[in-house]
């Protein structure tokens, strides 16, 4: 563990906090630059979507008082930050006495499970395909087929999701149309339940994988081409090492490191993409509660759920940053 | 590969006539005539032009609700109620009487508009910041690098969802500008990295030795060489911006008064168009967006090959 110094860990923690602070401040600041206050905007939206709102003026005044919108801005900002840091998002407006944290707690495991599986699959499949695209021993047919799948890369996961639902759930009826397990099924640790969950998660995971693996394939291919030109590869070949050994010990081992850094950078868009996929599939994750909250103007839930996802992304990046020195022995953060 | 020097160019008789052709060896032998790049540009131009010129041939008022019969299928198809498609509405209509053809004609250029505005703003900021970071260095570099490293990891869609759900009325330009708030880090990082490597390269040292001013080095030596990267980051940004806009629109947070492709998908999903087998309702905007993204991908791949000759060689 000699690679870790207090300074390095403190610096990474600082970046983690800075990420959350910037995101939270942008969320707070921008709507306040726009004309009108958030509460009136919410009432306006309610009345435009659901007819007249009785006593709108009174509600606005009451909420302004309750949320302290009459206080000076710096006071509001400090209170807002304090609430976020304690993960106190208040109560859901649509399901009133339920705290937002409870709603998020129910949805979060589904999102994390799906995300973990889908992203891991995309990363490994993508890097594997990228590596064999460059490797000299790969049959020409495989090399010709891979780029065709890359078309999916350019399409947002939300469009892939709609397409997959139509073909595999609606037309062929191989997979369920929506949800993360059959309605009325007991949540338990049985094979029946687990297989139902996997069956329901296949299409959502597939839409994330299809759309994202190509990114890794392209990146890996570029890195492999660069590493391929290095002298030590020629030396390894000249030594008569087996081609496969050269591939995974020399080429892949060196080419994959920047891919792991790229992983941290794309995580944010991956999370965003998956949230939309969950919404399209009616998957019981964060995407679904965010959409339900948007429809019912449940602002505390929108804010709480989005903020949780931002924190989780930043946390994942932090974990990746901290494990990177273990993967890449050349990097030592002692100096920092 | 690395050790086999390309000596063929020196040994051939062509070398003798080199000075005469110094400017360009062959007009058609330029990396800019990359097939992927051209195909992508052509695809996007076709979509954009059919959107822009379509307005002269088709009544775009039909893109608003109540202007046409409901739930008609495209020509040649029959819907679940047994109605056949008519030439009055060749691509069909949806359940509040919007004409799909008119929606496509109005919606596609709107997506381009968001992409161009958000990417333009994001890229301008990115080029300025990336240039400053790479060229000035020191504290400025530290701050800019830290900010872009941090911002790039934020799931911007989440932030945009919260912001847009708080805003009273969002129009296309506002949405594009909000998206641009998160569009600068990628170009900043890219440009900074390129400027750093170019600053240390031979021709910049030459320029410095021959007494060129800092400004001259920046704008006459480095900036022209950054062109492929600036273009590539513009395309990447536009893709990301359209993606974010589609996400917001499909969640029902897009502009309410203007027809958009994502908004059409939102209405289709909300009205269970999938279960009612009204495939044209969600399928046409999906297809249109897919074509736009494929066009952008082709352009991006083309730029990659232009900027990275090793990639170009290996793809042949």
Q: Cβ of A314 and B311 within 8 Å?
A: no
Q: In chain A, which residues have their Cβ closer than 8 Å to the Cβ of B247?
A: 156, 158, 272, 276
Integer Cα distance of B33 and A283 in angstroms: 45
| Residue B12: pLDDT over 70 | no
Segment B66-103, tens digit of pLDDT? 667 767 777 777 777 777 767 777 777 777 778 888 88
Residue B211 distance to chain A (closest CA, Å): 35
Per-residue buried b or exposed e for B199-226, using 16+ beta carbons within 10 Å of the residue's own CB? beeeebeebeeeeeeeeebbeebbbeeb
CA nearest B95: which of B283, B294, B264, B310?
Answer: B264
Whether the CB of B18 is below 8 Å from some CB of chain A: the reply is: no
Q: Cβ of A313 and B297 within 8 Å?
A: no
Higher pLDDT, B3 or B301: B301
pLDDT in the model for residue B3: 39
Host domain of residue B223? 50-315
Q: Is B40 within the bounds of a domain?
A: no
Among A41, A268, A295, the residue with its CB nearest the CB of B168 is: A41
Q: Cβ of A314 and B297 within 8 Å?
A: no
Which of B145, B149, B155 should one mutate to test binding to chain A, selecting the residue with the greatest count of A CBs within 10 A?
A: B155
Half-sphere exposure (CA, 13 Å, Cβ side) for B34? Answer: 24
Give percent above pLDDT 90 in chain A. Answer: 2
CA nearest B97: which of B64, B52, B124?
Answer: B64
Q: Cβ of A166 and B265 within 8 Å?
A: no
Instruction: Count A/B contacts: CB-CB distance under 8 Å.
Output: 168
Q: Is B2 within the bounds of a domain?
A: no
pLDDT in the model for residue B7: 41
Residue B290 distance to chain A (closest CA, Å): 6
Q: Cβ of A271 and B243 within 8 Å?
A: no
Higher pLDDT, A210 or A335: A210
Compute the average pLDDT of residues B19-28.
54
Integer Cα distance of A6 and B118 in angstroms: 40
| Residue A76: pLDDT over 70 | yes
| Residue A106: pLDDT over 80 | yes
Q: Is B112 within the bounds of a domain?
A: yes
How far is CA A213 from its chain centroid?
14
pLDDT in the model for residue B1: 36
Q: Cβ of A30 and B151 within 8 Å?
A: no
Interface of B with A in 60-119 (CB under 8 A): none
| Residue B211: pLDDT over 80 | yes
Q: Is B310 within the bounds of a domain?
A: yes
Nearest CA in chain A to B247: A276
Q: Is B307 within the bounds of a domain?
A: yes
Integer Cα distance of B29 and B25 in angstroms: 7
Among B243, B251, B311, the residue with its CB nearest the CB of A156 is: B243
The length of chain B is 316
| Residue B121: pLDDT over 90 | yes
Per-residue buried b or exposed e for B129-146, using 16+ beta carbons within 10 Å of the residue's own CB? bbbbbbbeeeeebeebbe
Confidence of residue B119 (pLDDT cuts 50, 70, 90): very high
What mean pLDDT value characterizes chain B? 80
Interface of A with B in 179-208 (CB under 8 A): none
Q: Is B22 within the bounds of a domain?
A: no
Half-sphere exposure (CA, 13 Å, Cβ side) for B143? Answer: 6
Q: In chain B, which residues have their Cβ closer than 8 Å to the Cβ of A314?
A: 153-154
| Residue B11: pLDDT over 50 | no
Residue B253 distance to chain A (closest CA, Å): 8
Predicted model pTM: 0.81
Q: Is B245 within the bounds of a domain?
A: yes
Query: Tokens at residue A162, please?
Result: 């709609």
Integer Cα distance of A250 and A256 in angstroms: 11
Which of B150, B277, B278, B280 should one mutate to test binding to chain A, selecting the residue with the greatest count of A CBs within 10 A?
A: B150
Domains and CATH numbers, chain A: 1-94+298-336 (no CATH), 108-295 (1.10.3720.10)
Q: Is B146 within the bounds of a domain?
A: yes
Whether the CB of A307 is below 8 Å from some CB of chain B: the reply is: yes
Compute the average pLDDT of residues A171-182.
77
Judged by average pLDDT, the poorest of A19-23, A105-109, B3-7 is: B3-7
Compute the average pLDDT of residues B139-143.
90
ipTM exceeding the 0.90 mark: no
How far is CA A292 from its chain centroid?
19
Segment A10-46, tens digit of pLDDT? 888 998 999 999 988 888 888 777 666 666 666 666 6
Confidence of residue B255 (pLDDT cuts 50, 70, 90): confident
Query: Tokens at residue A213, please?
Result: 């693996």
Nearest CA in chain B to A289: B251
Number of domains in chain B: 1
CATH number at residue B295: 1.10.3720.10
Q: Cβ of A26 and B178 within 8 Å?
A: no
CB B103 within 8 A of CB B259: yes
Nearest CA in chain A to B166: A38
Give percent above pLDDT 90 in chain B. Answer: 6
Segment A228-269, tens digit of pLDDT? 888 888 888 888 888 888 888 888 888 888 888 788 778 888
Confidence of residue B144 (pLDDT cuts 50, 70, 90): very high
- Full DSSP string of B1-66: --SS---HHHHSGGGGGTGGG-S-S-TT--TTS-HHHHHHHHHHHHHHHHHHHHHHHS-GGGGSTT
What mean pLDDT value characterizes chain A? 81
């Amino acid at each position: 563990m000699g690679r870790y110094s207090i300074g390095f860990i403190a610096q990474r923690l600082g970046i983690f906090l800075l990420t959350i602070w910037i995101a939270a401040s942008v969320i707070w600041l921008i709507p306040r630059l726009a004309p009108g206050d958030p509460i009136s905007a919410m009432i306006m939206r309610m009345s435009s979507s659901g007819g007249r709102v009785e006593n709108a003026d009174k509600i606005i005044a009451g909420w302004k008082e309750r949320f302290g919108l009459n206080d000076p801005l710096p006071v509001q900002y400090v209170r807002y930050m304090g609430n976020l840091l304690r993960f106190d998002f208040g109560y859901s407006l649509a399901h009133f006495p339920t705290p937002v944290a409870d709603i998020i707690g129910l949805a979060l495991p589904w999102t994390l499970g799906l995300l973990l599986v889908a992203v891991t699959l995309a990363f490994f499949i993508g890097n594997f395909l990228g590596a064999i695209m460059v490797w000299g021993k790969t049959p020409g047919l495989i090399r010709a087929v891979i780029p065709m799948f890359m078309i999916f890369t350019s399409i947002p996961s939300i469009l892939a999701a709609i397409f997959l639902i139509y073909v595999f759930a609606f037309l062929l009826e191989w997979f369920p149309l929506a949800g993360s397990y059959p309605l009325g099924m007991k949540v338990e640790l049985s094979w029946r339940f687990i297989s139902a969950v996997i069956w329901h998660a296949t299409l959502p995971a597939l839409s994330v994988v299809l759309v994202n693996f190509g990114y890794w394939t392209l990146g890996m291919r570029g890195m492999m081409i660069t590493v391929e030109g290095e002298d030590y590869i020629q030396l390894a070949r000249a030594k008569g090492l087996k081609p496969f050994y050269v591939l995974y010990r020399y080429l892949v081992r060196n080419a994959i490191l920047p891919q792991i850094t790229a992983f941290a950078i794309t995580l944010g868009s991956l999370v965003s993409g998956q949230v939309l996929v969950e919404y399209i599939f009616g998957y019981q994750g964060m995407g679904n509660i965010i959409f339900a909250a948007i429809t019912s103007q449940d602002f505390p839930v929108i804010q709480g759920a989005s903020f949780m996802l931002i924190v989780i992304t930043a946390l994942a990046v932090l974990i990746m940053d901290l494990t990177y020195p273990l993967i890449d022995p050349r990097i030592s953060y002692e100096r920092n | 590969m690395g050790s086999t020097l390309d000596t063929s160019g020196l040994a051939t008789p062509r070398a003798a006539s080199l000075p005469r052709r110094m400017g360009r060896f062959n007009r058609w032998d330029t990396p800019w005539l990359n097939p992927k790049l051209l195909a992508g540009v052509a695809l996007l131009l076709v979509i954009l032009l059919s959107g822009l010129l379509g307005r002269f041939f088709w009544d775009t008022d039909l893109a608003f609700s109540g202007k046409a019969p409901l739930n008609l299928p495209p020509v040649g198809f029959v819907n679940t109620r047994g109605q056949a498609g008519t030439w009055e509405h060749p691509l069909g209509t949806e359940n509040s009487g919007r004409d799909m053809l008119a929606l496509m004609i109005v919606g596609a250029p709107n997506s381009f508009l968001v992409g161009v505005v958000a990417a333009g703003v994001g890229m301008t900021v990115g080029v300025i910041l990336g240039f400053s970071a790479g060229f000035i260095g020191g504290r400025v570099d530290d701050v800019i690098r830290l900010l872009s490293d941090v911002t790039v990891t934020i799931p911007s869609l989440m932030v945009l969802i919260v912001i847009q759900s708080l805003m009273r009325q969002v129009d296309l330009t506002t949405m594009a500008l909000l998206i641009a708030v998160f569009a600068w880090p990628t170009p900043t990082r890219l440009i900074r990295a390129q400027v750093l490597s170019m600053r240390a390269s031979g021709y910049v040292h030459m320029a410095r030795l021959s007494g060129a001013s800092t400004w001259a080095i920046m704008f006459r030596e480095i900036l022209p060489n950054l062109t492929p990267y600036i273009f590539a980051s513009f395309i990447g940004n536009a893709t990301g911006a359209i993606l974010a806009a589609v996400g917001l629109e499909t969640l029902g947070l897009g502009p309410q008064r203007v027809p958009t492709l994502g908004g059409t998908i939102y209405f289709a999903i909300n009205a269970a168009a999938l279960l009612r087998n009204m495939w044209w309702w969600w399928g046409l905007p999906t297809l249109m967006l897919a074509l736009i993204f494929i066009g952008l991908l082709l352009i991006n791949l083309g730029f990659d090959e232009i900027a990275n000759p090793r990639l170009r060689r290996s793809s042949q």
